[in-house]
Amino acid sequence: MITSKTNPKIKNIVKLQKASERREQNLFIIEGQREIERAQKCGFEIDQLYVCPTLLRDPLSITANLTEEVSEEVFDKIAYREGSDGLLALARPKYKSLNEFKPKDNALVIVLETVEKPGNLGAIMRTADAAGVDAVIVADPQTDIFNPNAIRASIGCMFSVPVYACSTEECISWLKSNHIKIYCTYLKASIDYLDADFRGASAIVMGTEATGISDAWVEAADQNIIIPMNGIADSLNVSVTTAIVTFEAIRQRRREQF
């Protein structure tokens, strides 16, 4: 059992909190049995598993190349969350090129431009999983896709939906070449999102809460849409906005089937 916080393996896990280290070592952190199990189910390789026996709640059902037991004091050093179940894994990421994605005829994708907060990215991945969207594209990312807080906020849904990272210019070009209509949420838009037609191949584009989408997206859009605000707020959290528009698209598509 590892009982020292200065153990080289423990010190390395702390280093992996930095995106640059995750890229260099080609490893990322997953905490929690549910999240680790979902990663394995979706084909991610678990390289190392760290177990704190005194915190473990359920029988261990995870396989790894290497399993180490650690003390509670050591686990507290490497854990991200409170009330942890005593499991933390190091896994191999899968970075995908957008050119590898071959969309179906009526594909539905979510595009996030310059998403900054890992929690928002994770919450949107939960929506993407629940709605069954075909992919999430992160344009000009400002946070690492495999940030531990994004994985935590997604409750493991980060692994179930294909995620692609690219520049805004590459994303727009790819969408246009694949005949996917671009619907951008935009505060100055004149059309209500309920009046948009999402039944064909569609990309729902979200910007940051602070600045919204860039001019490049405003100009490239087939339709800019808005969620009307009836109170004093002029906008919603980006993850909430994504969920509202995405499930409207799903509603329209289901209605089309009957």
pLDDT for res 115: 85
In whole angstroms, what is the distance from residue 50 CA to residue 148 CA?
Answer: 15
Predicted confidence band of residue 190 (pLDDT cuts 50, 70, 90): confident
pLDDT for res 81: 82
Q: In sequence order, which ranges of the chain are alpha helices (DSSP H)?
A: 8-15, 19-25, 33-41, 72-78, 118-131, 148-153, 168-177, 215-220, 238-256
pLDDT for res 258: 54
In whole angstroms, what is the distance from residue 46 CA to residue 66 CA?
Answer: 9
In whole angstroms, what is the distance from residue 178 CA to residue 164 CA?
Answer: 15
Burial of 23 (0-12, 13-18, 19+ CB in 10 A): middle
pLDDT for res 189: 76
What's the pLDDT tens digit per position in 220-254? 999 999 999 899 987 889 999 999 999 999 999 98
pLDDT at 196 over 60: yes
What's the pLDDT tens digit per position in 48-85? 999 999 998 888 888 888 999 999 999 999 998 888 89
> How far, rounded to the nearest angstrom, does the alpha carbon of residue 148 sit from its chain's CA centroid?
11
Predicted confidence band of residue 257 (pLDDT cuts 50, 70, 90): low
Domains of the chain: 8-91 (3.30.1330.30), 98-256 (3.40.1280.10)
pLDDT for res 14: 94
Instruction: Give the type of residue at 62.
Output: I
Instruction: Give the type of residue at 98.
Output: L
Asked whether the beta carbons of 152 and 122 are under 8 A apart, the reply is: yes
Full DSSP string of 200-235: SSEEEEE-BTTTBS-HHHHHH-SEEEE----SS-S-
